[in-house]
Amino acid sequence: MTATLQIREPKSGRVLGSHALQPADLALCGSEFWREHYLRRNRPDVYFEDLDLTVLPGLDVPGLEPGFAIQGHVRDSDEPWARQEFPAGALRVASLDLIAALLKRKELDPKAKAVCQLHLDSAGLSLREAFRRAGGTSRVPTLLAYSRCHLPAPTDSDDGEPGPFPVYYLAAALERAEHYARCGALHSPPLESGCFLMGHPCRCPESGELYIVITEALRIRGAEAGTYHMTMSGAAWIEIEAILRRRAASGTGARAVGFAHGHPFLPGLDHAACARCEQQAECNLTSVFISDDDSRWMASVFAHRHPWQVAHVFGLDARAGHVQALFSLQDGQLQPRPYTVLTTLPDDFPAHDEEKS
């Protein structure tokens, strides 16, 4: 059984290019499935490699591009299977190289919105062995147990369904993250800069809900950066890993839960919207978004082992005002989400004392 990623011409549906889907192409979707159906449901004992996952054709919804579904359960168990639908957009990262090749060969109109589709040559594709071979071990350290009764209430969605997993941000960490993300803008020309977000993946003993508390920002130094990109150099990785090892040895429990960086450039202009600029209280054109490079980087660093990963982007609106947004996995993609700022941590929060200041 195989799965093929296809790029189709928007109007005719003609297949322009395809390649065999790799396990890494579904890493973010598998990670989200694990988080939503186990880690958020009081099952911290279930690890990613414990799951038997199968990719299935998605539900046929009129007016929407065909998506796919992941179905899974704890292997070698009698537990019921869970199923989660994913839109075609969840394959965006996997399609980037294929779309780039089609554009280079001039087989795809750069102005057209290519249709990305997953084609299965049978009723389903098992990912169990493929994920194991590709990802190795992905076991996660024990989640910090702390009752959310001492923290603000969760944010639910407008339709009454549970919202995204809660994220709490210590005010001092948020301030440092923004400083590190925007300091590159002071260069001439401006450069992207950023930091790792450090904190604690937690579990509420009463509700079983998964949440994270961001307590620190660890600056990234020595990255290869430009106005529109930032790449972790070998030297930068060595420095970060050395700091993390020292902290682990000293007993500080905070670990990397995400990444923050700046987009120190103005957004592309929408001339129709800009003509009405004076009539609008806020500018909706911003440089706050997840770029293709951001998606690739987050998938390679955090997939499988960190389903609670977050990305914080600090940018500018078309009036050069400061704007920002936090993103986490939803529908297989990094999407904007809310967070709650804490002035201080509760006195009984089981974290290192230096994180409480």
Residues 6+ apart with CB under 8 A from 227: 189, 190, 191, 192, 264, 265
- Counting every residue written for the chain, the total comes to 357
Task: Quote the pLDDT of residue 159.
Answer: 53
CA diameter of the chain = 63
Identify whether the C-beta of residue 174 lies closer than 8 Å to the C-beta of residue 341.
yes
What is the CA 331 to chain-centroid distance, rounded?
10
Return the structure tokens found at 44. 């911290």
Task: Quote the pLDDT of residue 327.
Answer: 97
Identify whether the C-beta of residue 86 lies closer than 8 Å to the C-beta of residue 58.
yes
- pTM of the entire predicted model: 0.89
CA pair distance 82, 72, nearest whole angstrom: 5
Nearest to 325 by CA among 341, 307, 337, 334: 337
Task: Quote the pLDDT of residue 356.
Answer: 46
Task: Quote the pLDDT of residue 200.
Answer: 92
Task: Quote the pLDDT of residue 1.
Answer: 55
CA pair distance 246, 257, nearest whole angstrom: 17
Domain boundaries, the chain: 3-135, 144-356
Q: Which fold has domain 144-356?
A: Cytidine Deaminase; domain 2 (3.40.140)
Task: Quote the pLDDT of residue 357.
Answer: 43
Residues 6+ apart with CB under 8 A from 52: 72, 73, 74, 75, 126, 128
Segments in the chain below pLDDT 50: 157, 352-354, 356-357
CA pair distance 39, 138, nearest whole angstrom: 14
**HSE-up of residue 14 (Cα within 13 Å, Cβ side):** 6
Q: What are phi and psi of 329, to 5 degrees?
A: -65, 125
Task: Quote the pLDDT of residue 89.
Answer: 85
